[in-house]
């Protein structure tokens, strides 16, 4: 088991290194530079700027300097947000994306499961169809449309919520709905189909025959078994949601990390591009690593295999 | 306690009464012949003893607006963009300050004198100005700040704004030392600036952010000083009290500001929001008081309706939208072809149907809000209407002649390049359509993402390319030297006419403002009317909305929100 973990970990480090190198090369290969502006400055000022940010050195030297700093967990200083440290920028903005992301994941799971169970229990009846309509809308309406619509209806017309910002618990409602609509729909479809399968299986029939109450069957047996695909999906969902959504963060003016990802590339803000890419990569790899570990613990076949290797 | 307060109030009322009497005395003497309508209450604030009564001071007056993003820098030496200027203008005070009309007024400077040759400016500084940490603002702060902005290791984008100083450019290039630079604090409150050549608009220049002072003890060796509210030391009408990055900025009135009686807002809150729909929704739900002038924009699809309802106002700004023409390669190395294409654009049609914000058709480069001489705007002195006629018959004739001169039977394949954006795309499509209808010429459209676009354009890899230009200072040199002088790094179409270069060079050496303007005017006329150096389209406007009750919150000459001296009824 230790060996298995160690292997995975080393592999992660190697992937990270490859990713850093590839990003560094690609970023520098893209035309444009962080130091250009619409108003051209004199060649001398351009030179001063390059010297200041170390861009006058050969690429390989710049790469070496970057790795050295990175080894000390220093992501450098942003070139467009003058003298702000990338570490601080990421920490300050990730906080908000994380909070909103976790609320949204919890909402997606709860609402998705509820809808899915209702649909499965009332298979081919009115409620099943209603749940189907809701989930089709959730999947089909993109957040670019959903978010401004929610804002206009509930914040401008009804005035039940604030238009933008993330200052109180109520401010989470609209962005959460916009962010969770698609996952809710997806989870609902997952639960419905696997639940239908489970409900028709023999052990449920046995439970019914034993005279167990309806809600006990759903809760104890059916739901637990239907949750497996959802758990798999959850790993992807969490990583996806906590890294922030550009659209939702912009529309609801949430100071999150999502909008920085695109903006840093458009700005050619080299240290910021590297910082966010590395941060995202570590997040995704860590979540993969954890889910691999979880599988190893849960799946007896995997455990056996690694046990043999460990011997 | 109660007694004490009422005593204070009584005292304040009494003081005000005294000052009113004093004022009215003055007014009667001065204004009896000129303006009999001047009431004594018209100028109580001019008297220093007329401080507002305690009850007025306690009243909260907040101004709220949005910016699209965090100001990239609040360091006067490094700021380059509208976001930074809008906040910076409220927290820093330079020698002079531009009033909303775009004219320089005394700031930290009490007075200034210019030497006979126009090359030495001596500023007398007021002695009651203080930094937010209590230190006095002295001439040494200015000397330090100017030299710092020029220092090569500071790597300031706007260092060239200080190249007017003697040896400024040399210092920036590492060819002179800081001591050589033409700025010197003669004593704590006298600053002397020696210029390379007379620049009649130098007092305009010192209003620019790169000439603002910084506090040496705060800045020296701490490049990150301007990134947090807690470490910024400033000297303007407002103090930056909270900067929650990416979220909001809170400014409060500076109690130590020397001109605090003219500052009426007690607080300003800036929310950082990008989409115009969200900005508009915030305005509609009464969360902000202002939209426009680079502080949020009114959604394009709402503009016409809001203007018709008189809820929004359209104002000119000192920016020009134009197309660069690559004069270094065929076919546009031919002036007749450049003229034909420029004449075949129906500017008013473009404005009415595409851009839809009441812009002014442009036939030259200098925007109408830019100052000229003798109290006239530059465009009033030199109207651009004759520089270019939208005459389709003439355009076709010129096209045929130009093609014949180049030995071509038809216009070769040409591309119109713009940076990726829905608005620029709509304009490019409309213009391509006009060229198709009016000249029978097919033009290919291409768009590139911003960074790539700039690189392509500055490498002359284009036939026609979109461009926009905004003013840094309220002077026409900004639109002429920078855009049509062959030595300018912004002249990407590589237009070159020695006569124009010479006129512009001479305009910089002339001490007489009017003569200088005449030279600039003539240079612009040659470049446009004779050579069609670029293809001008329109002068920008900004659409603004403000909540009722606010006054003196305005879009300045450059189209940046100017709010620091505003008031709320």
Q: Which positions ≥6 away from A116 have C-beta within 8 Å?
A: A131, A187, A188, A189, A190, A191, A192, A195, A226
Chain B hits for A36, CB-CB cut-off 8 Å, are 451, 454-455
User: Whole-angstrom Cα distance, residue B31 to residue B159?
Assistant: 46
Residue in chain B lying closest to A89 (CA): B245
CA separation, residue A171 to residues A176, A253, A254, B288, B300 (Å): 9, 11, 10, 17, 27
Local confidence band at B44 (pLDDT 50, 70, 90 cut-offs) = very low
**DSSP-assigned letter for residue B420:** S
Q: What angle do CA B90, B93, B94 make, to 5 degrees?
A: 135
CATH of the domain at A253: 1.10.3720.10
Q: What are the pLDDT digits (tens) for A282-308?
A: 988 888 888 777 766 665 555 545 444
B277 touches chain A (CB under 8 A): yes
Interface test with B, best of A30, A43, A44 (most B CBs within 10 A): A44
A51 touches chain B (CB under 8 A): yes
Where are the domain boundaries for CATH 3.90.76.10 in chain B? 94-128+138-212
Q: What are the pLDDT digits (tens) for A168-200?
A: 899 999 999 999 999 999 999 999 998 888 888
Q: Which of A80, A156, A250 sits opposite B281 (nearest CB)?
A: A156
User: Whole-angstrom Cα distance, residue B141 to residue B214?
Assistant: 6
| Average pLDDT of the residues in A36-56 | 85
Q: Residue B124: phi, psi to the nearest 5?
A: -95, 125
Query: Do the beta carbons of residue B568 and residue B61 sit within 8 Å?
Result: yes
Bond before B331 cis per omega within 30 degrees: yes
Q: Between chains, do A84 and B244 touch, taking CB under 8 Å as contact? A: no
**DSSP-assigned letter for residue B188:** T
SS3 B158: helix
User: Whole-angstrom Cα distance, residue A304 to residue B236?
Assistant: 72
In DSSP notation, chain A reads -HHHHHHHHHHHHHHHHHHHHHHHHHHHHSS--TT--SS---HHHHHHHHHHHTTTS-HHHHHHHHHHHHHTT---B-TTTTT-BHHHHHHHHHHHHHHHHHHHHHHHHHHHHHHHHHHHHTTTSHHHHHHHHHHHHHHHS-HHHHHHHHIIIIIIIS--S-SS---SGGGGHHHHHHHHHHHHHHHHHHHHHHHHHHHTSHHHHHHHHHT--HHHIIIIIIIHHHHHHHHHHHHHHHHHHHT--HHHHHHTT---SHHHHHHHHHHT-HHHHHHHHHHHHHHHHHHHHHHHHHHHHH-HHHHHHHHHHH-
CA dihedral angle for residue B416, residue B421, residue B426, residue B432, rounded to 10 degrees: 0
Q: What are the pLDDT digits (tens) for B167-179?
A: 999 999 999 999 9
Residue A299: what pLDDT?
A: 59
Local confidence band at B526 (pLDDT 50, 70, 90 cut-offs) = very high
What is the number of other CB atoms lying within 10 angstroms of the CB of residue A124? Answer: 8
How much is the pTM?
0.85
Query: What ipTM does the predicted assembly reach?
Result: 0.87
Out of A228-242, A248-262, B14-28, B45-59, give the one with best mean pLDDT. Answer: A248-262
| Average pLDDT of the residues in B494-521 | 93
- Confirm whether A198 is domain-assigned: yes
User: Whole-angstrom Cα distance, residue B483 to residue B494?
Assistant: 9
CATH superfamily of B318-542: Dipeptide-binding Protein; Domain 3 (3.10.105.10)
Residue A300: what pLDDT?
A: 56
- Confirm whether A56 is domain-assigned: no
Q: Between chains, do B275 and A93 touch, taking CB under 8 Å as contact? A: no
Of A178 and B9, the one with more pLDDT: A178
CATH superfamily of B94-128+138-212: Dipeptide-binding Protein; Domain 1 (3.90.76.10)
Nearest to B331, CA basis, from B259, B398, B244, B238: B398
| Average pLDDT of the residues in B102-117 | 93
Judging by DSSP bridges, how do beta strands B267-272 and B62-67 pair with one another? parallel
Residue A301: what pLDDT?
A: 57
CA distance B99 to chain A (A): 25
User: Whole-angstrom Cα distance, residue A123 to residue B281?
Assistant: 42
Interface test with A, best of B242, B278, B417 (most A CBs within 10 A): B278
| Average pLDDT of the residues in A199-223 | 79
Where are the domain boundaries for CATH 3.10.105.10 in chain B? 318-542
User: Whole-angstrom Cα distance, residue B430 to residue B347?
Assistant: 10
Residue B205 Cα to chain centre, angstroms: 11
B23 has pLDDT over 80? no
**DSSP-assigned letter for residue B374:** T
Residue B80: what pLDDT?
A: 87
Residue B510: what pLDDT?
A: 86
Looking at the DSSP bridge assignments, the partners of residue B268 are: B63, B251
- Confirm whether A62 is domain-assigned: no
Q: Distance between the two ends of chain A, CA-based, in angstroms?
A: 10
Q: Between chains, do A84 and B227 touch, taking CB under 8 Å as contact? A: yes
B460 has pLDDT over 90? yes
Local confidence band at B16 (pLDDT 50, 70, 90 cut-offs) = very low
**Angle separating helix axes A86-121 and A173-199, nearest 10 degrees:** 40
- Confirm whether A180 is domain-assigned: yes
Local confidence band at B237 (pLDDT 50, 70, 90 cut-offs) = very high
Q: Which of B227, B272, B455 sits opposite A32 (nearest CB)?
A: B455
Query: Do the beta carbons of residue A114 and residue A185 sit within 8 Å?
Result: no
SS3 B286: coil
CA separation, residue B319 to residues B77, B81, B207, B323 (Å): 23, 14, 19, 13
What's the burial of B471, exposed, middle or buried (CB within 10 Å: 0-12/13-18/19+)?
Answer: buried
Local confidence band at A226 (pLDDT 50, 70, 90 cut-offs) = confident
Of A119-128, B59-68, B259-268, B320-329, least confident by mean pLDDT is A119-128
What domain count does chain A have? 1
Q: Locate tokens 């001591």: which residue?
A: B179
The whole domain housing A224 covers 91-270+286-309
Query: Do the beta carbons of residue B516 and residue B507 sit within 8 Å?
Result: yes
B277 has pLDDT over 70? yes
B55 has pLDDT over 90? no
Q: Which of B160, B450, B488 sits opposite A266 (nearest CB)?
A: B450
Of B26 and B450, the one with more pLDDT: B450
Local confidence band at B5 (pLDDT 50, 70, 90 cut-offs) = very low
- Confirm whether A128 is domain-assigned: yes
Local confidence band at B28 (pLDDT 50, 70, 90 cut-offs) = very low
User: Could you say which residues from 279 to 318 on chain B have a Cβ atom under 8 Å away from some Cβ of chain A?
Assistant: 281-282, 284-285, 287
Q: What are the pLDDT digits (tens) for B331-386?
A: 999 999 999 999 999 999 999 999 988 999 999 999 999 999 888 999 999 999 99
User: Whole-angstrom Cα distance, residue B260 to residue B263?
Assistant: 5
Q: Which of A48, A92, A155 sits opposite B172 (nearest CB)?
A: A48
Average pLDDT over chain B, rounded to whole?
88
Local confidence band at A36 (pLDDT 50, 70, 90 cut-offs) = confident
Residue A303: what pLDDT?
A: 54
- Confirm whether A170 is domain-assigned: yes
Average pLDDT over chain A, rounded to whole?
87
Percent of chain B clearing pLDDT 90 (strictly above):
78
Query: Do the beta carbons of residue B160 and residue B146 sit within 8 Å?
Result: no
Q: Between chains, do A31 and B452 touch, taking CB under 8 Å as contact? A: yes
User: Whole-angstrom Cα distance, residue B418 to residue B449?
Assistant: 9
């Amino acid at each position: 088991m230790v060996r298995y973990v160690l292997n995975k970990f080393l592999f992660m480090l190697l992937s990270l290194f490859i990713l850093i190198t590839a990003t560094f090369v690609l970023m520098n290969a893209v035309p444009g530079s962080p130091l250009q502006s619409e108003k051209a400055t004199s060649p001398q000022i351009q030179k001063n700027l390059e010297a200041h940010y170390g861009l006058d050195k050969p690429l390989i030297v710049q790469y070496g300097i970057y790795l050295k700093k990175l080894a000390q967990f220093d992501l450098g200083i942003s070139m467009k947000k003058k003298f702000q440290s990338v570490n601080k920028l990421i920490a300050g903005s990730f906080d908000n994306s994380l909070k909103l992301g976790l609320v949204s994941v919890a909402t997606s799971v709860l609402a998705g499961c509820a809808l899915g169970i209702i649909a499965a229990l009332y298979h081919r009846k009115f409620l099943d169809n209603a749940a189907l309509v809701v989930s089709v809308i959730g999947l089909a309406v993109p957040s670019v449309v959903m978010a401004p619509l929610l804002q206009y209806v509930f914040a401008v017309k009804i005035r039940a919520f604030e238009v933008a910002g993330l200052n109180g618990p109520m401010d989470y409602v609209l962005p959460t709905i916009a962010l969770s609509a698609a996952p809710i729909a997806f989870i609902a479809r997952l639960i419905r189909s696997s639940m239908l399968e489970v409900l028709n299986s023999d052990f449920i029939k046995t439970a019914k025959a034993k005279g167990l109450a309806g809600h006990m069957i759903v809760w104890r047996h059916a739901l637990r078994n239907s949750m497996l695909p959802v758990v798999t999906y959850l790993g992807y969902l969490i990583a996806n949601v906590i890294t922030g959504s550009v659209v939702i963060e912009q529309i609801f003016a949430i100071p999150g990390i999502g909008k920085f990802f695109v903006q840093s590339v458009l700005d050619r803000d080299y240290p910021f591009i590297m910082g966010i890419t590395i941060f995202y990569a570590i997040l995704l790899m860590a979540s993969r690593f954890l889910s691999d570990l979880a599988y190893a613990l849960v799946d007896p076949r995997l455990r056996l295999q690694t046990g043999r290797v460990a011997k | 306690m109660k007694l004490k307060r009422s005593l204070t109030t009584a005292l304040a009322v009494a003081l005000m009464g005294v000052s009113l009497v004093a004022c009215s005395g003055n007014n009667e003497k001065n204004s009896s012949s000129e303006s009999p309508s001047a009431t004594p209450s018209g100028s109580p604030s001019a008297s220093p003893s007329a401080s507002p009564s305690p009850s007025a001071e306690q009243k909260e007056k907040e101004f709220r607006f949005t910016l699209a993003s965090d100001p990239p820098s609040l360091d006067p030496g490094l700021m380059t963009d509208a976001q930074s200027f809008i906040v910076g203008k409220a927290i820093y005070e330079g020698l002079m300050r531009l009033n909303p009309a775009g004219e320089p007024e005394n700031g930290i400077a009490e007075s200034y004198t210019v030497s006979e040759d126009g090359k030495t400016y001596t500023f007398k500084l007021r002695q009651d100005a203080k930094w937010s940490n209590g230190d006095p603002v002295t001439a040494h702060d200015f000397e330090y700040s100017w030299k710092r902005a020029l220092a090569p290791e500071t790597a300031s984008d706007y260092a060239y704004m200080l190249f007017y100083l003697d040896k400024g450019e040399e210092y920036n290039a590492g060819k002179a030392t800081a001591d050589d630079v033409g700025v010197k604090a003669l004593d704590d409150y006298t600053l002397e600036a020696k210029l390379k050549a007379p620049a009649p608009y130098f007092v305009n220049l010192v209003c620019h952010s790169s000439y603002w002072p910084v506090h040496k003890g705060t800045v020296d060796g701490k490049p990150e000083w301007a990134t947090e509210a807690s470490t910024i030391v400033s000297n303007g009408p407002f103090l930056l009290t909270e900067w929650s990055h990416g979220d909001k900025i809170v400014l409060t009135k500076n109690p130590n500001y020397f001109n605090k009686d003219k500052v009426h807002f007690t607080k300003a809150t800036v929310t950082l929001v990008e989409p115009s729909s969200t900005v508009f929704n915030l305005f509609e739900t009464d969360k902000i008081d202002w939209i426009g002038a680079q502080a949020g924009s009114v959604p394009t699809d709402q503009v016409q309706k809001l203007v018709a309802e008189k809820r929004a106002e359209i104002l000119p700004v000192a920016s020009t939208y134009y197309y660069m023409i690559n004069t270094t390669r065929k076919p546009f190395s031919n002036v007749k072809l450049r003229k034909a294409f420029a004449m075949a654009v129906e500017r008013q049609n473009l404005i009415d149907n595409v851009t839809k914000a009441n812009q002014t058709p442009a036939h030259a480069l200098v925007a109408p809000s830019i100052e000229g001489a003798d109290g006239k705007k530059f465009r009033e002195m030199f109207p651009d209407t004759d520089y270019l006629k939208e005459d389709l018959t003439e355009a076709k004739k010129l096209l045929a002649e130009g093609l014949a001169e180049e030995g071509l039977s038809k216009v070769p394949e040409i591309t119109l390049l713009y940076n990726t954006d829905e608005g620029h795309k709509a304009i490019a499509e409309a213009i391509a359509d006009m060229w198709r209808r009016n000249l029978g010429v097919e033009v290919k459209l291409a768009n590139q993402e911003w960074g790539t676009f700039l690189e392509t354009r500055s490498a002359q890899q284009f036939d026609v390319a979109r461009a926009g230009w905004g003013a840094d200072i309220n002077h026409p040199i900004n639109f002429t030297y920078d855009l049509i002088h062959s030595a300018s790094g912004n002249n990407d179409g590589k237009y070159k006419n020695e006569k124009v270069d010479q006129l512009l060079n001479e305009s910089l050496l002339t001490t007489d403002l009017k003569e200088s303007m005449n030279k600039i005017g003539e240079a612009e006329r040659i470049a446009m009317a004779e050579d069609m150096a670029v293809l001008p389209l329109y002068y920008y406007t900004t659409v603004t909305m403000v909540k009722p009750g606010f006054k003196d919150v305005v879009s300045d000459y450059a189209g940046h929100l100017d709010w620091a001296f505003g008031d709320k009824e």
